[in-house]
Amino acid sequence: MQNALTSICVVGGGTAGWMAATLLSSALRGSGIQISVVESPDIATIGVGESTVPSIMDFIQACQINLKEFIQATSASFKLGIRFDDWSLPGEQFFHPFGRVGKDINGFDFYQAWLKSVADGSDARWLDYSPGAIMAEQQRFMLRPLQPQNWVQAGYAHALHLDAALVASFLRELCLQRGVNRIEATVNQVVLDHRSFIQGLALDNGGEIHSDFYIDCTGFKGLLIEQSLQTGYLDWSDYLPCNRAVTVQTKNVAPPVPYTVATAREAGWTWSIPLQHRSGNGYVFASRFCSDDKAMDTLLSSVQGRLLNEPRVIPFVTGKRKKIWHNNCLALGLAGGFLEPLESTAIHLVYKTLVHFIKHFPDRDFDGDNERSFNQKIDQDYEEIRDFIILHYCTSGRKDSEFWRWCQNMPVPDSVREKIRVFKKRGQLEHTPGQFFTSDSWYAILEGMKQRPHKYHPLLDAFNSDALTRTLNENRQQIRHEVQNMPSHHDYLQAHCPAL
Ligand code: FAD
């Protein structure tokens, strides 16, 4: 007998909680497993978390959500990547696009062909070969055709900027229609059995919940996974020193751009996330280099448009639970861990955790090997993203404040050090299947930070330089031509999915 689960209880009604209930209600359809969500009327959600990466589109598809309805209901805009201002040096700018950069030439990684073209005297930028970067530069957008007609149409990807509160409401409604049981209450107590499995939850309204499995979506405090099960926290603040953010929302003063802007500041960086109806803004900073008051001043002097709420400070500790899955509890969202939002990866990690969980879906025997295999996979995902974020700090050329001088000599994990060392030799990075950030993403940051390899692949010299120049010129022209025929991002939103 399979000894199947009969019930799952999600604790917390923020983005993570409702994403879990929505995806599980799709994936477990027909299984007879009852899904409940406990949503507290008294404890607020964090209210930030509005920039995403392309896996949000996979989530939307896996949940059978109508994209147009979702965009309209959440006031979302499209995102083609992140523009990094002042990171390599003040006044410098670069873009990290989603999707491909260039197309491989005779089986060689395009980056290699581009390095040779530079050695041959070309002054075309690496990003001139990125459909997504050129679309962003020209503020144009259209959804990628279902059957792309050429490599340019196939070469870009997009994500969304969305309103976190509206996302929670949208997903809540959908879950209720799909038979998810919503319980409005605050959990007062978590009851464990003698094996340290969760036996039940005591609610503030006097009720109790008994479920086979629990998903902890209670935010930073991790009510189940940490306060009760005490799995421990892996603190990565030594690598990523930012530990606070001050945030504020503003009215838009211009149509939303199709990218997030991340601007390096004296003790961290600020974000600007444009939605259709407003913008989200924040300053992520390291408290050992900057006070809350100073951070607030920096943020307020950088934003445009009328303030729509009171600025507030959010402290955080970068890292993750030592075990994201323990016994009959999965930690999701902020309850599982938090890497600072520089590459907008938290909602992606919620989705990825759920995908691994569904692959490792337990029965009531709770096989330890299954739990271990899951934890290994999700640990790799967290470490990969941590490393990629570290890359942005340790390769910056800034030395103009105490914070940036610290970054010049910051501790760097061996995994990052090794990747940079390999890159510097001849710019050839391997992509491991399953990793989120491709070699193109690493090249985009390294190129943006003015890091170049010493050589390129020796067989590229067998290429005829004139023919290579011709091909690359044609590729650039093809991108420009395709992009010029696209509508502006603003027109596209207005025509296809204006906010409700
Ligand atoms: P929360 O939104 O905090 O929700 C917690 C829920 O638990 C609430 O509903 C609360 O009521 C409930 N709860 C708590 N205690 C109890 C209890 N005792 N009983 C019942 N319910 C309880 N992510 C991105 O992907 N992109 C970004 O750009 C991004 N930017 C960020 C910027 C900052 C400064 C921070 C801190 C985070 C950012 N994130 C970002 C992360 C993102 O905010 C979260 O991943 C996402 O919102 C999920 O949050 P959550 O649901 O885990 O937690």
DSSP string, 392-407: HHHT----SSHHHHHH
C-alpha closest to that of 457 among 104, 111, 103: 111
Ligand 1 centroid–CA 488 distance in Å is 33
* CA–CA distances in Å: residue 466 to residues 122, 150, 213, 459, 471: 11, 24, 63, 16, 9
- Rounded CA gap, 350 and 24, in Å? 12
Residue 200 structure tokens: 């039940």
CB 371 within 8 A of CB 322: no
What was the ipTM of the complex prediction?
0.99
Residue 271 Cα: closest atom of ligand 1: 28
Domains and CATH numbers, the chain: 7-77+162-233+322-384 (3.50.50.60), 99-156+413-489 (no CATH)
C-alpha closest to that of 342 among 283, 291, 410: 283
| Nearest-CA residue for atom 18 of ligand 1 | 187
Which residue's structure tokens are 């950069």?
101
Decide whether any atom of ligand 1 lies within 6 Å of the 236 Cβ. no
Decide whether any atom of ligand 1 lies within 6 Å of the 77 Cβ. no
C-alpha closest to that of 388 among 427, 424, 345, 356: 345
DSSP E strands in 389-458: the ranges are none
Ligand 1 centroid–CA 424 distance in Å is 38
Return the SS3 of 47: coil
Ligand 1 centroid–CA 333 distance in Å is 6
Q: Per residue of the chain (500 residues), what is the pLDDT tens digit?
A: 689 999 999 999 999 999 999 999 999 999 999 999 999 999 999 989 899 999 999 999 999 999 999 999 999 999 999 999 999 999 999 999 999 999 988 889 999 999 999 999 999 999 999 999 999 999 999 999 999 999 999 999 999 999 999 999 999 999 999 999 999 999 999 999 999 999 999 999 999 999 999 999 999 999 999 999 999 999 999 999 999 999 999 999 999 999 999 999 999 999 999 999 999 999 999 999 999 999 999 999 999 999 999 999 999 999 999 999 999 999 999 999 999 999 999 999 999 999 999 999 999 999 999 999 999 999 999 999 999 999 999 999 999 999 999 999 999 999 999 999 999 999 999 888 889 999 999 999 999 999 999 999 999 999 999 999 999 999 999 999 999 999 999 999 999 999 98
Q: Which residues, in sequence order, are bridge partners of residue 298?
A: none
Decide whether any atom of ligand 1 lies within 6 Å of the 313 Cβ. no
Residue 44 Cα: closest atom of ligand 1: 11
Pocket test for ligand 1, best of 19, 37, 43 (most atoms within 8 A of CB): 43
Decide whether any atom of ligand 1 lies within 6 Å of the 219 Cβ. yes
pLDDT of amino acid 104: 86
Ligand 1 centroid–CA 164 distance in Å is 9
Which residue's structure tokens are 């603003």?
490
- Rounded CA gap, 500 and 448, in Å? 38
Pocket test for ligand 1, best of 9, 46, 182, 339 (most atoms within 8 A of CB): 46
pLDDT of amino acid 226: 98
Decide whether any atom of ligand 1 lies within 6 Å of the 256 Cβ. no
- Rounded CA gap, 25 and 226, in Å? 26
Strands in 319-321's sheet, in edge-to-edge order, are 233-235, 319-321, 337-338
Residues in the chain: 500
| Nearest-CA residue for atom 40 of ligand 1 | 49
CB 258 within 8 A of CB 79: yes
Q: Cα 43–47–50 angle (5° rounding)?
A: 155
- Neighbouring CB atoms inside 10 A of 428's CB total 17
* CA–CA distances in Å: residue 135 to residues 90, 97, 447: 24, 10, 19
CB 240 within 8 A of CB 318: yes
> Cα dihedral angle (162, 266, 385, 102), rounded to 10 degrees?
80
Decide whether any atom of ligand 1 lies within 6 Å of the 164 Cβ. yes
Decide whether any atom of ligand 1 lies within 6 Å of the 344 Cβ. yes
Decide whether any atom of ligand 1 lies within 6 Å of the 316 Cβ. yes
DSSP classification of residue 309: S
| Nearest-CA residue for atom 37 of ligand 1 | 49
- Rounded CA gap, 434 and 268, in Å? 30
pLDDT of amino acid 49: 87
Return the SS3 of 234: strand
What pairing do the DSSP bridges indicate for beta strands 34-39 and 268-274? unpaired
| Nearest-CA residue for atom 38 of ligand 1 | 49
Decide whether any atom of ligand 1 lies within 6 Å of the 222 Cβ. no
Decide whether any atom of ligand 1 lies within 6 Å of the 9 Cβ. no
DSSP state string for 83-110 = EEESSSSTT-EEEEESS-SS--BTTB-H
* Cα 169 to chain centroid, rounded: 21
| Residues whose CB falls within 8 Å of the CB of residue 229, separated by 6 or more in sequence, listed in order | 192, 196, 198, 326, 327, 329
